[in-house]
Amino acid sequence: MRLYVKNLIRRIPGAEPLARAVGLAPDNLRTFLLEMLPKNSLGAEIGVWRGDFSARLLEVVQPKQLHLIDPWKHEPSAMYKYALYGGLTKRGQEEMDRHYADVCARFQAQAARGQVTIHRGFSADVLGQFPDAFFDWVYIDGNHLYEYVKKDLELSLRKTKPGGFVAGDDYVGGQWWKDGVTKAVDEFAKTQAAELVSLRDRQFVFRRKS
Ligand SMILES: C[S@@+](CC[C@H](N)C(=O)[O-])C[C@H]1O[C@@H](n2cnc3c(N)ncnc32)[C@H](O)[C@@H]1O
């Protein structure tokens, strides 16, 4: 029965991230990744939504600085019909504004002591403002369409120190983003600047070479 529900969730576009987000599917797939990331590091999460994974990053990785990047912008077009920030919202932009306010409240204490910084903006704009080779790691979970993932990978690598990690979620096809993540990641794996160190449980992990 459990397997049936799991398979059903997998087949409905957009259902899996939603099921995970509301606690109907376990989010233990990413534990191995959390354990790979260095403690006391400088990191960024692209695509925050309600901050559930941000909380796990803080708990397990205990970063010195965590930069949370998300525009919290509702996308009304048909392309985003099954996205958590598109057609799956009940109240559109009002709901995204609510998520932003909730994330600010949720991490208020960490922000006050300088551990968390919340950036409301698109990853390309926000990441671009950091010096090159700044981060120890960047986790990519924003817009999953090909052009965005490609750009996030390139920019994140540039902003990550040699030896640091560029990782991300949803390395899987057949969802609303089609082959956006898999295609961008497979292409990126051919670049000389990064080594693909792990590809499991829908997660991809690159290490910057130099
Ligand atoms: C799947 S949710 C993130 C879930 C979160 N990482 C977690 O695991 O709890 C995707 C998020 O990406 C954000 N997003 C969409 N386009 C983006 C962009 N260009 N840059 C950064 N974030 C983006 C959306 O607003 C949404 O909150």
pLDDT in tens, 84-125: 999 999 999 999 999 999 999 999 999 999 999 999 999 999
Give yes or no for residue 48 CB within 6 A of ligand 1: yes
Model confidence, pTM: 0.91
Q: What is the CATH number of domain 27-208?
A: 3.40.50.150
Ligand 1 pocket check: which of 72, 82, 84 to mutate, most ligand atoms within 8 Å of Cβ? Answer: 84
Residue 210, pLDDT score: 86
Atom index in ligand 1 nearest the CA of residue 49 equals 27
Residue % of the chain over a pLDDT of 90: 84
Distance from residue 109's CA to the centre of ligand 1 (Å): 22
Distance from residue 87's CA to the centre of ligand 1 (Å): 14
The secondary element (H helix, E strand) that includes residue 36 is: helix 31-36
Distance from residue 200's CA to the centre of ligand 1 (Å): 20
Give yes or no for residue 141 CB within 6 A of ligand 1: yes
- For the chain, the straight-line distance linking the first and the last C-alpha, in angstroms and rounded, comes to 48
The DSSP-derived string for 142-197 is S--SHHHHHHHHHHHHHHEEEEEEEEES---SSBTTBTHHHHHHHHHTTSSSEEEE
Give yes or no for residue 181 CB within 6 A of ligand 1: no
Of 44, 169, 21, 168, give the one whose Cα is nearest residue 95: 21
Give yes or no for residue 152 CB within 6 A of ligand 1: no
Residue % of the chain over a pLDDT of 70: 87
**Whose C-alpha lies nearest to ligand 1, atom 16?**
143
CB 115 within 8 A of CB 63: yes
- List the chain domain ranges: 27-208
pLDDT in tens, 118-166: 999 999 999 999 999 999 999 999 999 999 999 999 999 999 999 999 9
